[in-house]
Structure 1
Amino acid sequence: MAERMSDPRKRNRDLSQTFETLARQNANDSEFRSGYRVAGIAARFHRLFSRSADGNHFDSFDYQRHEYSACIRSMISRYHLSMQRITRDQLTPVFDRRVPAVARVKSGELFWVETEDSRGGRTRVPEHTTPEYLLAMRKRGYYGNPVTGPIFVEGAEAGDTLAVRILEQKCDTLGYMGYWPFLFHLEDFFDKPATTLCEIRDGKVVFSTDIEIPVRPVIGTIGVAPAMEAVLSGGMGRHCGNVDVQEICAGSIVYLSVFVDGALLCLGDCHAIQSDGEIGSVEMRSEIQLSCELIKGRSPNMSWPRIETEETLVTVAVATPLEEAMRQSLREMIFWIEERTGMSKHEAYMLIGCVGDARPGQAQVSNYSMRCIFPKKYLRQRKTS
């Protein structure tokens, strides 16, 4: 057996600070809040010990042999158990300032949210997927796209901005695909609604015996309470809502305008994968780890939700017809680039025209959502007078 070579990254590493000490430190610490897919304690955990030669994978051999290993495993488990978990039985069908909050979180606090599927769990067994059952369900009436919440964010006030960091999203093991013939006006193709249950396993959607699709989980509906009106969770607006944007996923920050005290965040309608325009999707239950960071005040030019991924800026707007939503998302992106870089509107518009994209979010029924996408690698700082 080849001799294990020493890792130079181990030198001068102070292991006297036990993992229990790290776990007691304030969860608002920037290291806890800066991770995208590895959150909180896990980020520090990886810094204590060596990784493999490629620098990407933890060296489990070192971990198992280290004298602190039992303590570390115990503390990771205790830390995750101590996180607040908001369960999927705490649902609402509406974004509304009058709905009592089901939970309270502090700015920067990590917490878990469980979500129900877009039909409230009504079609999770084969006998509930027949055309007859679906038509009867629709005739009786039900609230689609139920969301978990509202979640009260301490310190949030009207006029502030809420930065929602999505750290991790877990897929359920069961999803469903389906359609109603009236969507996209396909009545000449289909005379009955359809729903097909599908397995989600090993990071893939089992579409059929010979087709497996890697998951790309997204949060279809997320938003805060509007200032005055009550909006069904299947609707959209400046508060966000059922925008069905693929970039609302793990690793992203969603910036939402706050209209009422506490913001009253809600989320749900998660998909294992979906197409642009939501031609279709694999609906599912999900579990999401996130944090809400409060930014006091708001840009006077921020009218619509904004999203930041590792590589892109994304603006989302809602309107009818679809081209009006596109125009609004473009205006929002021009404002955002101007704010971040000092570029003129002229330069920002020209640059978006070269490297940006416009893509639909939810285009099934009006109102529609459109997004403007800009790669951050082309941002350049300009001097402002």
Structure 2
Amino acid sequence: MAEFFIHPDRSTLHGSFSKEFTPIVSINSGDTVRFETIDAGWNAGPFQFDGVREKFCERDHPQDSGHALIGPIYINGAREGKTLAIRINDIKTGNWGWSTGGGFPNTINKRLDLHEGPEYALMWELDASNNLGISNKGHKIRLKPFMGIMGMPPNEEGIHSTYPPRFCGGNIDCKELVPGSILYLPIAVEGGLFSVGDGHAVQGDGEVSSPALECPMQLVDLTFTVIDQCLSFPRAETPLKRITFGFHEDVHEAAMIALEGMLDWMQELYNFERKEALNLSSLLVDLRITQLVNGVNGVHALLSKEAIL
């Protein structure tokens, strides 16, 4: 199988999804692509929050209005009705990152009465070798890096925002998608047109302040396989768990979508009746809030691979 290396520059970066974008490379099912990515905010390097931020490159609007993504990748044989399996082989952070809390009027900040005044901003030094982050104010934390955005465009005309997650991926922001995991995405357009970006050095479920610990990645190592399976919503596997996702403006409905997806998967794996799957889900399945900050909320359902003997 072939291996490709893609670095960020003006020709490989974009800030939206569209089936009309020209692919930067074509690969075959089973090939591996190693990316270097910039941070979601298009920054060239560490910056002062109250100063001018040097950008990595000029942006063309509206197609570059969102997170900095690298791609799209055309996968031969990918087409609507099939599934793209993305195996996450390795992720290594760059040496810096940033995070903020409060200071702007989103729903959570207003509810917590933290929307006025300046944001609480931290700049971080990241040690990828030891998965360690140290902030400019002395906080020391463990890193668990993953990519916030992995996805493809829908089969609709025009430009589509990077901010909401969709059935074909996008801004999923699931902290479980670390090296060793596999993400399964429904394919909506010929070639898939996969893009990746929005590196997170670490994030909690919910991503409650809006950003995670945003950072560039020196390495994102992904293997792509086209599967002859028709999914309606994303799924994922880790070495220990199976995961289904739900996305909706109403977080309760997002939870129901994730649960329905898990019931489907349990029926496929174990030939359960639907009510039987629900009964066992109440005993064995965890529902977690993926994120509450992308306009479309995310919930993921988790089932241990060792739960059913």
Q: TM-score, normalised by structure 2?
A: 0.87
1:37 counterpart residue number = none
Is the 1:254–1:306 contact (alpha carbons within 8 Å) kept by the matching residues of 2?
yes
What is the letter of the counterpart of residue 213 of structure 2?
V
**CA 1:224 to 1:377, structure 2 compared with 1: closer, same or farther past 3 Å?**
same
2:118 counterpart residue number = 192
Q: Residues of 2 paired with 1:95 and 1:209: CA distance?
A: 37
Q: Residues of 2 paired with 1:284 and 1:318: CA distance?
A: 25
Check if 1:355 corresponds to 2:284: yes
Q: Residues of 2 paired with 1:285 and 1:123: CA distance?
A: 9
Is the 1:107–1:294 contact (alpha carbons within 8 Å) kept by the matching residues of 2?
yes
Q: Residues of 2 paired with 1:188 and 1:333: CA distance?
A: 36
**CA 1:356 to 1:207, structure 2 compared with 1: closer, same or farther past 3 Å?**
farther
1:291 counterpart residue number = 223
Q: Residues of 2 paired with 1:349 and 1:306: CA distance?
A: 18
Is the 2:16–2:65 contact (alpha carbons within 8 Å) kept by the matching residues of 1?
no
Q: Residues of 2 paired with 1:182 and 1:209: CA distance?
A: 25
Count of residue pairs brought into register by the alignment: 289
Secondary structure of residue in 2 paired with 1:369: strand
2:303 counterpart residue number = 374
What is the letter of the counterpart of residue 125 of structure 2?
E
Is the 2:244–2:262 contact (alpha carbons within 8 Å) kept by the matching residues of 1?
yes
What is the letter of the counterpart of residue 206 of structure 1?
I
Partner deviation per Cα, 1:80-131 (whole Å, 9 max, x = no partner): xxx31111221111111101111112111122012221101167222xx11x
Structure with a larger share of its residues in helix? 1
Check if 1:164 corresponds to 2:91: no
Check if 1:176 corresponds to 2:108: no
Is the 1:225–1:264 contact (alpha carbons within 8 Å) kept by the matching residues of 2?
yes
Q: Residues of 1 paired with 2:135 and 2:279: CA distance?
A: 41
Is the 1:86–1:103 contact (alpha carbons within 8 Å) kept by the matching residues of 2?
no
2:57 counterpart residue number = none
Partner deviation per Cα, 1:271-295 (whole Å, 9 max, x = no partner): 0001111124210011211110111
1:92 counterpart residue number = 14
Check if 1:318 corresponds to 2:247: yes
Structure with a larger share of its residues in strand? 2
Q: Residues of 2 paired with 1:197 and 1:369: CA distance?
A: 27
Of residues 113, 136, 155, the one that matches 1:227 is 155
Q: Which has the higher contact order (CA 8 A, sep 6+)?
A: 2
What is the letter of the counterpart of residue 261 of structure 1?
E
1:336 counterpart residue number = 265
**CA 1:354 to 1:207, structure 2 compared with 1: closer, same or farther past 3 Å?**
farther
Is the 2:152–2:193 contact (alpha carbons within 8 Å) kept by the matching residues of 1?
yes
**CA 1:239 to 1:104, structure 2 compared with 1: closer, same or farther past 3 Å?**
same
Of residues 256, 259, 264, the one that matches 2:185 is 256
1:265 counterpart residue number = 194
Secondary structure of residue in 2 paired with 1:282: coil
Contiguous gaps of at least 5 residues in structure 1: 1-26, 29-82, 135-139, 381-385
Q: Residues of 2 paired with 1:365 and 1:85: CA distance?
A: 30
Secondary structure of residue in 1 paired with 2:42: coil
Q: Computing the radius of gyration over CA atoms, which structure comes out larger, 1 or 2?
A: 1
Query: How far is the alpha carbon of 1:209 from its aligned partner?
Result: 6.3
Partner deviation per Cα, 1:155-203 (whole Å, 9 max, x = no partner): 1111111110000001111011114422313473341234321101232
What is the letter of the counterpart of residue 290 of structure 2?
G
Structure 1 residues 16-95: aligned runs within 5 Å: 27=1, 83-89=3-9, 90-95=12-17
2:213 counterpart residue number = 282
Question: Percentage identity across aligned positions?
Answer: 25
What is the letter of the counterpart of residue 119 of structure 2?
P
1:80 counterpart residue number = none
Q: Residues of 1 paired with 2:143 and 2:109: CA distance?
A: 28
Query: How far is the alpha carbon of 1:365 from its aligned partner?
Result: 4.0
Q: Residues of 1 paired with 2:100 and 2:65: CA distance?
A: 17
Q: Residues of 2 paired with 1:252 and 1:259: CA distance?
A: 22
Q: TM-score, normalised by structure 1?
A: 0.71
Is the 1:120–1:144 contact (alpha carbons within 8 Å) kept by the matching residues of 2?
no
What is the letter of the counterpart of residue 182 of structure 1?
P
Partner deviation per Cα, 1:302-327 (whole Å, 9 max, x = no partner): 32100011111111111011111011
Q: Residues of 2 paired with 1:125 and 1:320: CA distance?
A: 33
Of residues 170, 177, 181, the one that matches 1:241 is 170
What is the letter of the counterpart of residue 109 of structure 2?
H
Is the 2:199–2:216 contact (alpha carbons within 8 Å) kept by the matching residues of 1?
yes
1:306 counterpart residue number = 235
